[in-house]
Structure 1
Amino acid sequence: MSRPRILVAGLGDSGLLTAIHLASHFEVVGISSKPGLVSGQELGLRVSRPDVWARDHRIPFDRFRRLDVVRTVHGFVRSVDVEERIVTVLGVDGRETVEPFDALVVATGVQNGFWRRPGIQTTADVDADLSGVNRTLSAARSVAIVGGGAAAVSAAANLSATWPDKRVDLFHPGTRALPRHHPRVWRTVRTRLERQDVGVHPGHRAVIPDDAVCDEITSAPVEWSTGQASTHADAVLWAVGRVVPNTSWLPADLLDEKGFVVVTPQLRVPRLPHVYAIGDVAATDDLRSSARNRADRLLAHNIRADFAGRPERSKSFVARERRWGSVLGVQADGLQVFAATGHAFRFPAWTIETILQPWIVRRGIYGGIRSADRE
């Protein structure tokens, strides 16, 4: 008897981990518009030191040991028929194929700036994106970062740390940046930014002339709706949180008013017991925090319970009220991680490549990742 087929649409951070947890129980097919994991995390490191970022956040699928039994399809999901249980996929070669499923996991994420693009990309396309942004920012004598979230703050800190002679300014609309974190986090991070001579400018809300502006590094003056004089910089990095869910391929009645997938606390799509959603695309809470709180294990457990005929054994996802985790990524003095209470603890620099990455991340979280030199 053949095993049920689970189709995971989207193999970013959340979809990849969900597929890994399901692979030993089901036939799993993963669809990805990228040729491997291209994480949306750690923007600051990605734009300032892309080679260092790529070691841990850009990984070909064939290096993940627990994906060996998962069939990956390099393509873009065009449409779904939830009654017939099939999706139509546009492949990297331009041809359309149909993939049947017994259960569908929607993990297609969101588009957000130049670092989260929804279209099909080849390895060469990802290379060009990474190197192009890095060259632009490297050549700039001054950089203005517009936005107050973790991506903007991380970019400011990492750009100033990588190029200490460059003028770096962070402009955010509120009285403090990182409004989704505990206030202690911003106090700690701001001290570091000021120590690195980053200009911090609260109360600046940008006038965005076109949504497409947010998807590029620009050089035109930034105008402010809050009354300040325009700001000039060689490069402007927009991180203003213009998030758009990648759900154009889904029926509208599965989505909320903003286009995110409506789910129950068990991450099921209501009235469709064979469809689930996880990650930034799932409307779990205002923070869409299933992307950051290891809900992948919970979802895999619930799918197993459903196929075993024991849905009463399902677990409910409980959202956190504040963001937590790393803000700046790995720095010269290690990795600082913040709890939801705003208190911080640090992994010393020597532990990153001896304990944290090889044992906690590559083996503990992903179940084993082959070394790049063994490819």
Structure 2
Amino acid sequence: MADPARHPRVVVAGLGDSGLLSAIHLARGRSRVPRLSPAGPPSIDVVGISAKPGLLSGQELGTRIARPDAWSRDYWIPFDRFRGLDRVRTVHGSLTGLDLDNRQVGIRLGDASVVSEPFDLLVISTGVRNGFWRQPTLQSATDIDADLLSTHRRLESTTTVAVIGGGAAAVSSAANIAAVWPAKNVHLYFPGDVALPQHHPRVWRRIRRRLDGLGVALHPHHRAVLPADGHIDRITDAPVTWTTSQDPVDADAVVWAIGAVRPNTEWLPPEILDERGFVRVGTDLRVVGHDDIFAVGDVAATDPLRNSARNRADRLVAHNVVATITGRPLKHYRPRSRRWGSVLGVQPDGLEVFAPDGRPFRLPAWSIDSVLQPWIVRRGIYRGVRDRS
């Protein structure tokens, strides 16, 4: 494996929600790896590679577009604020390739130059692209701030908004737009009898009552025809037509949240991907046929829902990387059969979170800024986040 004369290097390719936490756990896990000498440093070098200069979460789309300032406080955080990354070297660039024979990844930097980063073990966590809010483009902090503001202003200037899709992103978008701008006409179009089909039925029953109270018009059995140019990675304003034969719909803004995810795996060799382009992994999250490469998060084909990102497999993958280095047994991932967690995000009356069986529990509004974010999230999950300078 690693050259005994140097520290083994672990590269985390992608520092989104799963990759960031994996890197933090790996940095902490260095203490469990034997030192090269009694006086030497812990014997793992952790390198994280990201197209963004900080955590730009894919969570809580509705809050992101309706209340970007509040969303940014918790979901758009520069890497230098994470205390858990102090021992991680981060590289800001786009991944261009994986050389399996020479054990290195290619990275295109902001100046268009391409460099190589060698590894002894690799964690692939490059996620997926989805709509306008999850794209792998190389961005600066200024680019991200401008993008968040322009999306919000685009919606703010409208009278009628059509949200297309039946998953949590679509439902959250419709609910938060209606809550922030109650004078708007907000319509939610989804293909089935109900929305949120991957959640327990209890979840939709409860969320539907919330949408009714916000004045969101619900339109089941509507499956949209994609725009002629195929682009659903932006808010559009052209009429929406339907494969289900309803009359076309006009809206000032059309939010496409149809769940048409595509894995960010163009940089990877085809032999490690499944037929849809996701990374093939075993239950220990190792890439099939490669004991020194792991994958976690939405990019990993762990189960039909690819739920490892939502079930904290970041901790498991970090354990298994360290176990591989130290020769200890690996743990195995057990997926859940349903989506769970928050659907609408933080609302004026607090945060409602759903268990896998669909039962909700609520965190009151006062606890979000005084308990949840500072203690559970920033200190407990992220191991410390510095205040904004």
TM-score (normalised: structure 2):
0.94
* Distance (Å, rounded) in 1 between the aligned partners of 2:347 and 2:7: 45
Identify which of 344, 347, 353 aligns with 1:328.
344
Q: Does 1:227 align with 2:269?
A: no
Q: Aligned residue for 1:317? A: 333
The within-5 A match list for 1:24-43 is 24=28, 25=30, 26-43=44-61
Letter in 1 for 2:222: H
- The alpha-carbon deviation at position 83 of structure 1 amounts to 1.7
* Distance (Å, rounded) in 1 between the aligned partners of 2:186 and 2:227: 23
Q: Aligned residue for 1:260? A: 278
Q: Aligned residue for 1:9? A: 13
* Distance (Å, rounded) in 1 between the aligned partners of 2:236 and 2:168: 20
Identify which of 324, 338, 343 aligns with 2:354.
338
Q: Aligned residue for 1:68? A: 86
Q: Aligned residue for 1:370? A: 386
Q: Does 1:132 align with 2:150?
A: yes
The within-5 A match list for 1:214-253 is 214-253=232-271
Letter in 2 for 1:14: S
Q: Aligned residue for 2:171? A: 153
* Distance (Å, rounded) in 1 between the aligned partners of 2:229 and 2:290: 34
Compared CA separation, residues 202 and 317, structure 1 to 2 (3 A): same
What SS is found at the alignment partner of 2:339?
Answer: coil
Deviations 1:227-259 (A, max 9, x none): 111111100000011111000111100000000
Identify which of 113, 132, 156 aligns with 1:95.
113
Identify which of 170, 175, 190 aligns with 2:188.
170
Q: Aligned residue for 1:195? A: 213
Deviations 1:196-241 (A, max 9, x none): 1100110000011346431010011100111111111100000011
* Distance (Å, rounded) in 2 between the aligned partners of 1:112 and 1:78: 20
* Distance (Å, rounded) in 2 between the aligned partners of 1:3 and 1:332: 49
What SS is found at the alignment partner of 1:157?
Answer: helix
Identify which of 356, 365, 371 aligns with 2:372.
356
TM-score (normalised: structure 1):
0.98
Q: Aligned residue for 2:35? A: none
The percentage of aligned residue pairs carrying the same residue is 59
**Aligned-residue RMSD, C-alpha:** 0.9
Deviations 1:243-289 (A, max 9, x none): 11000111100000000000000000111111100000000011110
- The alpha-carbon deviation at position 118 of structure 1 amounts to 1.0
- The alpha-carbon deviation at position 4 of structure 1 amounts to 1.1
Q: Aligned residue for 1:274? A: 292
- The alpha-carbon deviation at position 314 of structure 1 amounts to 1.0
Identify which of 184, 187, 204 aligns with 1:186.
204
Letter in 1 for 2:305: L
Which segments of 5 or more consecutive residues in structure 1 lack a partner in the other structure?
A: none
Letter in 2 for 1:90: R
* Distance (Å, rounded) in 1 between the aligned partners of 2:281 and 2:210: 39
- The alpha-carbon deviation at position 361 of structure 1 amounts to 0.4
How many pairs are equivalent? 371
* Distance (Å, rounded) in 1 between the aligned partners of 2:287 and 2:227: 36
Q: Aligned residue for 2:36? A: none
Deviations 1:121-148 (A, max 9, x none): 1112111211111111000001000000
